[in-house]
Amino acid sequence: MKERYMTTAETLLELQRLDLALERDEASLRELPELKELARKRAAYQKLKAEAAHLMGTRKDLETEVADLTHEQAETEHEVTLTQEDAQRLKDYREVQALEIELSDLAKKLDKIAFNLKEKESALADALEREEKVNAYLAKFEQALLNDAQATRAAVTAVQERIDATRRDRNRTAASLDATMLDSYEASRKSHKGIGVEELRKNVPSVCRMALTEASMEDVTRAGSIATCPYCGRILIQREVTEA
């Protein structure tokens, strides 16, 4: 069977159909619900990571404080031991009394250290528990985000492949027009927000819908299958007219 080639008028209509399909699919890709949802989850994930980092910092600070207090406690206890040993060797009442005051001060210091240490150890235990919970949730969130990303990639790929195929068809179709006609099409498309071609149905253009007068019909008919709409300025196609 002999292959049928499209007329210039048909090519213009097909080119517009492909351009409109591209616009729809590109808009669909930008507004893809999966992409918006993934962006929302990624933002939540970043907040969760920031919280986990903050909790880790808090826990490390508490660990440092506990270690410092434990070290201070050990040093103070050692100081108490040395002071007690000194007290056993002393005979002078005033020296013994001074050491007793020193031991009393050290005992108060140990009490304060023990109190602070207990508070910090309790805070550390709470911090560890919170950090473990957040890290466990973060690990689950990461896996869910990965699964969502893979599903979204599949959805994006499907639309993108359709866009790529349409763009190839569009480029082939555009290449079949002569340069002057293609320039006219692009100019009309730009001037009319993407719809630069319309068909004449009886005496009514398909887009602007302004019925042509008898005189306008005669002018359009004389122009052939490809004319210009006297009202809106779009390229006007007449399918009934045979191209030369």
Q: Identify the pLDDT of residue 97.
A: 78
Per-residue pLDDT reduced to its tens digit, 57-114? 999 999 999 999 999 999 999 998 888 887 777 667 777 778 788 889 989 999 999 9
5, part of any domain: no
Categorize the per-residue pLDDT at 1 as very low, low, confident or very high, splitting at 50, 70 and 90.
very low
- Of 198, 171, 168, 193, residue with least CA distance to 9: 198
Q: Identify the pLDDT of residue 241.
A: 56
Categorize the per-residue pLDDT at 45 as very low, low, confident or very high, splitting at 50, 70 and 90.
very high
- Mean pLDDT across 145-157: 93
Residues 134, 65 share a domain: yes
Residues 190, 95 share a domain: no
**CA dist 49 to 56, 134, 225, Å?**
10, 9, 64
Residues 74, 128 share a domain: yes
Residues 208, 150 share a domain: no
Residues 187, 170 share a domain: no
Residues 46, 63 share a domain: yes
Q: Kindly report the pTM of this predicted structure.
A: 0.62
22, part of any domain: no
User: Does residue 22 surpass a pLDDT of 50?
Assistant: yes
Residues 200, 128 share a domain: no
Residues 186, 93 share a domain: no
Q: Which domain holds residue 202?
A: 179-237
Residues 95, 163 share a domain: yes
When divided into structural domains, the chain yields a total of: 2
State the Cα–Cα distance between residues 33 and 22, nearest whole angstrom. Answer: 18
